[in-house]
A and B are shown apart, each in its own frame.
Chain A
Amino acid sequence: MEENKLLLKVKDLKVSFFTPAGEVKAVDGISYSLGYNEVMGIVGESGSGKSVEAYSIIGLLQNPGRVIGGSIEFEGENLLDYTPEQMRQFRGNKVSMIFQNPMTCLNPVYTIGNQLTEALTCHDKTISKEDARKKAIEMLELVGINNAEKRMNQYPHEFSGGMRQRAMIAMALICSPKLLIADEPTTALDVTIQAQILELMKDLQRKENTSIIFITHNLGVVADICDRISVMYAGRIVEQGKVNDIFYDPQHPYTRRLLQSIPRLDEEDDERLIPIEGTPIDLLNPPQGCNFGPRCTECMKICLRQKPPFAQVGEGHISACWLHFKDALEKEGEK
């Protein structure tokens, strides 16, 4: 991928939470890049830092969280150098975000229309009320809400869960942002609604030419919609690659275990789900070596002592595991 075609470049980003109990390295040096019109999935279990990472892009990190290193370049500009006011104008306009729980993410005391047009008016002072309203109705129709005109005057509690998430998507896309961050947008929804929302997002992505960072703990969800996938574990990316590479040729032991733990209908019946043993590590006291080491079945002595570097395991496919180096060394020995 050419440098100048990149929309977003995250480089060695480090985010820590300074709690009374000590520093929690929620994101511990992650790097990736995202092209225009590309959909990247970030997959990991809860607490792996995937949401924190997304919040630091859009500047929503709350105390005691702080970015302590690295850079986030958006169209060549480092977002970390932005002033709060620049950041505010950037949010919602260039990049917007939808969240996990549509039940609580809309303000209960204002109408949907009010909240939709607000997204427009706080970036475009010149827009007239009627225009904003027209645009909002248009967006509601675009996300498949019938009776948009009437729905504009309703309150969030009069919407169903799926409808609210549609409204959230409409709100996020109303300024035609270049990047949409979707933080578990389907997790709180029923399975049928999940499928509808995913379909809608795929559809809109094509129509609006928006790049998407799709954050989820559910590998099954991202298969359909993403171009590339980053697998995160305990604040680090452990494997990154094209969607097919991750699904059909996973290299990192964690990814493999993750894939084994999702139910699949196309496998034989005797294929059992294998849970990942153990619990996620305590980020207050991260292990010295590989974060996954203590839970890994193929753990080696070095894994407990040193963090593994990335290895290129295919085109655009990297994985951070000492096993790759073991293989490489063995091969060199054969020579």
Chain B
Amino acid sequence: MKNTFAKISPFQVDPEKIMETFDIRDDDFSSASSQEKESMVEMHKSISFWQDAWRRFRANTVSMVALFVFLLCLFFAFIGPKFIPYTYGDQYRTAQKLGPFEYSKSEDIVRSIQDSADAFYATALRPGSLTAISKGSYYIQYGGKTYAFTMKKGAEKCILLLKQNDPEPLQLVSEKDIKDGAYTKYTAIEFTDTPEEDAKELKLIKRVFPHVFGTDSQGRDIMARTMYGARVSIIIGIMAALIVLIIGSIYGAISGLCGGVVDFVMMRIVELIYSVPEVLIVLLLQVVLKEPLQAWFQAHSATSAFVKAMSDLGAGIVSIFITFAVLYWVTMARIIRGQVLQLKKQEYVTAATALGASNARIIRKHLLPNCIGPLVITTCLQIPSAIFLESFLSFLGLGVSAPMASLGSLCSDALETISLYPYRLVFPAIVLTIIVLTLNLVGDGLRDALDPRLKK
């Protein structure tokens, strides 16, 4: 057929007009080389599943912020205690029932004089190991110099001051005398330059750290306790999630892979556990396990490092782990079984089997990588639910025991005095909520990033 250019609107093109409307060059109708053709095609870089998932997770602002905040919480819980001078167990006798950012009387005294001193050591402030400096030799290293001194008897209720540019840099001041920064020197001190061999080192406090969250009725710093509690809660959450992950995924995988009678029996067991109202059993378990566990700790902690580690955690926490190992893996098992069953039917698994791949290879190369998404998501979302359960048990007085603290037990303690000191509840509750919230959001983000169903 001839190529003609008849007039038909709107597709009409006049042959003469081609030259006018289009920019036609001399060599335009010679064939293009394959390089020229390729240069026109922009190829997407191929990226791996994890790169792709990470890219999508990064694009999710909410999840990224949540991840950042959760990392802050981790910092708060694990590294935070290094930055504050208080510990979770120490009871600061003069500093009971303080509100947020309040100072005890003795701390106030120290604060009132700290302008004139470079550093100080308040003997009466800290009822811990260094409470009363007894007679003996001490040294302080400060500003590149070593100040060594011998403490005479009876200087317990004193404040040790360090004034670098003073002819007598090291001074002992009576606590009673200090009023509005004016104080009299107390001379029960002998000052030398070189420390004696058995001299103990004293750490000077450079400034008084406020009780940011206040203190409780026993004079314990609530921020230190919240940090510690957050640490305990996070550890419990992660450990419990790992226990659930291991038991649930192995159980689910076996059930899904074996199929048949094995699957039937295993799934009936899962259904049974599923229909038991777990909290009732958990409560009973908690009470039941406490004393046998303590007896077990006492008997074996000397010989076994594992038991020692467990006993450090305490019976309450270990029985929470046991509870999770007994009751809470069923959801994970169901998810993994479903995933395995679904994957078993996939054509590529059939193809691999047809090509003679061994079962181990199929599990390693096909099933495992495809299960990792749901595994990661479920584990991540298991952590907050474990933290929830722990705090619930601690709230009922069954979880961790004093002087250890978890966020749940802190809330529970605070509840007794809630009408007088509401902030004691507020701080641990906020930290608990933030941890659970951010973990939920991170989990959601992971699901969006890893779930191939949403992938376009």
Contacts and interface: CB of A to CB of B under 8 A. Distances in A.
B48 interface: no
B31 A299 contact: yes
B28 A300 contact: yes
Contact of B1 (A304, A311, A314): A314
A65 interface: no
Contact of B32 (A300, A328, A331): A300
A181 interface: no
A189 interface: no
A12 B9 CA distance: 12
Given A302-B28, A304-B40, A324 B3 contact: yes
A59 interface: no
Given A282-B44, A314-B1, A301 B11 contact: no
Interface residues of B, number: 30
B25 A310 contact: no
Interface in B247-267: none
Nearest to B11: A310
A318 B6 CA distance: 10
Interface string B373-389: 00000000000000000
Nearest to A319: B3
A332 B25 contact: no
B358 interface: no
Contacts of B41: 278, 281-282, 287, 294
A312 B11 contact: yes
B18 to A, nearest CB: 6
B11 A313 contact: no
A14 B13 CA distance: 21
A301 B36 contact: yes
A11 B10 CA distance: 9
A312 B22 contact: no
Contacts of A304: 32, 36-37, 40
A289 interface: yes
Interface string A297-335: 011111111100111111000100010111111011000
A249 B3 CA distance: 12
B12 interface: yes
Contacts of B8: 312, 318
Contacts of B3: 251, 311, 313, 324, 327-328, 331
Interface in B1-27: 1, 3-6, 8, 10-13, 15, 18, 22-25, 27
Contacts of A20: 59
Most central of B5, B15, B25, B40 by chain A CB within 10 Å: B40
Interface in B50-76: 59
Nearest to B38: A294
A301 B15 contact: no
A328 B5 CA distance: 9
Nearest to B42: A285
Nearest to B4: A312
Contacts of A332: 15
B24 A302 contact: yes
B83 interface: no
- Report, nearest first, the 8 A-B pairs whose CB atoms are least far apart: A302-B28, A310-B11, A326-B29, A287-B40, A294-B41, A299-B32, A309-B13, A312-B6
16 contacts: A282-B42, A282-B44, A293-B37, A294-B40, A299-B37, A300-B30, A301-B25, A301-B29, A301-B36, A304-B37, A306-B22, A309-B11, A311-B5, A312-B4, A312-B8, A313-B3
Given A302-B28, A322-B29, A332-B15, 7 more contacts: A251-B3, A287-B40, A294-B38, A300-B28, A302-B25, A327-B3, A329-B18
Interface of B: 1, 3-6, 8, 10-13, 15, 18, 22-25, 27-32, 36-38, 40-42, 44, 59
